[in-house]
């Protein structure tokens, strides 16, 4: 979904994973596995840092819009276009065209 100055993504987060990874399920659901535990906001901070690195934007350009205490999150990434996000997601493991 395109937002005013960026892109909003619905993401399912799996905390306490063996490694950090982004995958896109065959149904299009974006999943991010994080090694951080879901306590005291550690997984949310890890998600912001992971997405910032993945999309090449500063952490300040990533905002958690909804789902701070849930595995289902809505994240806004500023400074990128929907086309750039789509290209990065298509290059993620688990993507099926």
Which residue(s) pair with 62 in the sheet?
Answer: 77
What is the mean predicted confidence (pLDDT) over 24-53?
A: 94
Q: Where residue 26 falls among pLDDT bands split at 50, 70, 90?
A: confident
The 10 Å Cβ neighbour count of residue 46 is 19
| Nearest CA-CA partner of 32 in 81, 48, 66 | 48
pTM of the model: 0.89
pLDDT one-digit tens code per residue, 51-72: 999 999 999 999 999 999 999 9
Does residue 1 carry a pLDDT above 80? Answer: no
Angle at which helices 42-55 and 82-90 cross, to 10°: 100
| Amino acid 18: pLDDT | 96
Q: Catalogue all structural domains in the chain, each as residue range(s) with its CATH number.
A: 6-90 (3.30.1200.10)
Count of Cβ atoms closer than 10 Å to residue 7 Cβ: 20
**Can you give the C-alpha Rg of the chain in angstroms?**
12
State mean pLDDT over 67-86. 94
Residue 9 has pLDDT above 50, yes or no: yes
Q: What angle do CA 19, 32, 18 make, to 5 degrees?
A: 20
H helices present in 1-97, as ranges: 42-55, 82-90
């Amino acid at each position: 979904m395109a937002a005013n100055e960026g892109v909003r993504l619905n993401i399912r987060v799996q905390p306490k994973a063996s490694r950090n990874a982004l995958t896109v399920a065959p149904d299009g659901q974006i999943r991010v596995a994080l090694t951080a535990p879901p306590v005291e906001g550690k997984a949310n901070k890890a998600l912001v840092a992971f997405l910032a690195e993945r999309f090449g934007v500063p952490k300040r350009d990533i905002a958690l819009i909804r789902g701070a205490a849930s595995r289902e999150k809505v994240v806004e990434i500023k400074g990128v276009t929907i086309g750039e996000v789509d290209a990065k997601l298509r290059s993620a493991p688990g993507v099926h065209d």
